[in-house]
Amino acid sequence: MSAPDDSAAGPWVPDTTWPVLQEFWAAARTGHLVFPRCTACGRYQWYPQAMCPACRAMAFAWDEVAPDGYVFSHTTLRRSFVPGADGQQARHIVLVKFLHVPGVTLVTNVREDVEPRVDLRARIAFDEVGPGVSLPVSELYEV
């Protein structure tokens, strides 16, 4: 992640030009959730790596996946360590596992002020945080 030049974009935005995650951020910009999947064995790999840890193949394809999952774990950030973010409200952060994407866990902020709990359902949406930059956020709900 890098600090933005324009303070209107918020304190932190990702480097969407980094080749390792370029496909992820391009899909996020259009509201789609994608993860890399090994073309040899079909295993999803998140965080992206050059080699599949299951079969050692070196080829991945980015697959669009359903944005539905559940809260695996959560925490609440009450003190910001990001310059310029002092005085912001507490922020709920969740680890989301996906119903149809085994082995993938994504860390996101919670969109609304909903108190997270383990096993709450989560749907990934995207919030624009800067020109052409959208971050995944979780919308939490009961089953």
Residues in contact with 13: Cβ distance below 8 Å, sequence separation at least 6, in sequence order? 1, 2, 4, 129, 130, 133, 135
Percent of the chain at pLDDT > 90 equals: 71
- pLDDT, residue 82, reads 67
22-33: average pLDDT: 97
Write down the pTM of the prediction.
0.84
- In tens, the pLDDT along 80-111 reads 676 666 656 678 999 999 989 999 999 999 99
CB contact at 8 A, 101 and 33: no
